[in-house]
Structure 1
Amino acid sequence: MTLVVISLVILVIVYCVYIYNSLIRLRTMVNEAWSGIDVQLQKRHDLIPNIVKVVQGYAAHEKNLFESITQLRTRGMEATEVKEQEAAEVGLSKALGKLFVVVENYPELKANQNFLELQKELAVVENDLQRARRYYNGSVRNYNIMIEQFPSMFIAKAANHSQREFFDIKNETEKAVPNLNF
């Protein structure tokens, strides 16, 4: 009888260790996925001043738009929380959309080789960012499910694991990659 009890205790301990290690693995995957988003956002933030500089040469009177883009870029670079980053990036995407509407009024700018290269680079970064966002949200989903499932929720609570936030864009127009082909 004591052998059965000892075996059950050992089995429960092994199971708890397995659950704990699974939680650690999933949390690490979420952190890694966020790092992927961070890299793509940094690339995006690095491209924006160059795009603004090229457009400024043709549309200097759009000073308010340029300042808005610069402020939103700075806000995005300084964000520390997922929701804060999300809000900054949504605003930045909207401002970039307005910038590309301005570009429509300048055919010579649309033909500028430097601008076209930057435009292509931004499209690649936006696509990579979208992939990184999907990977992150999938990792967060798996982690959050593990935290909510029975019996792993007890181990998660004891080990101070808490749910992570998704990195989402709020509506369909904001989800779309900006149309960068002129």
Structure 2
Amino acid sequence: MISVSDNTAADLLLKSVERAGVEARLGQTDMPSTREFFVLKNPANIELLRAYRSVGLDRAARKEVLKQADAAPLSNAMVFVQGLTIATDVEWFVSAQGLCRLMAELPETWQNPGVADPADFPSVSFKGGSEPGVLNLTNQLTSKVGKMWCVSATRNRPEPLDEQMFIAMYAGMLKLPH
């Protein structure tokens, strides 16, 4: 699930371990599931997105909007393939420090090295995420001298992103002497 960003599996896990526990662990409140993200970000559901935004930090009202989003039909995936940045405020916001802490705690992230070259590190883990306007790359690495470190880079802006350049710069950081 983690190594291939399986959204359905992530939502099943969120339901299994209960949303409140995940929210507490990430320091968030009323965190949407990935399904609810897609519903809220669908331009056809602009009124639902406005309702989500308008309730602010009112937990009961936000939970009600998320219930409506969970019950709403999913859109055609082509809405999201067009490369348009949609509602960058509807996300899971985790600091770089929080991402690095989670990387150290989740052995599942050790299945995929991302852009890191496994030949450069005795151990390497990776988790990334993206959608139009958003890209995150996070690696937990152990150097050949046994030092563990974490590198995380995130871009969250509505302007177009040269993803290949971003990834190349990140990969270059991982090649710096360590």
Question: What is the TM-score when the length of structure 2 is the normalising length?
Answer: 0.29
Question: What is the TM-score when the length of structure 1 is the normalising length?
Answer: 0.28
Q: Which has the higher contact order (CA 8 A, sep 6+)?
A: 1
Greater radius of gyration (CA)? 1
**Higher helix proportion:** 1
**Higher strand proportion:** 2
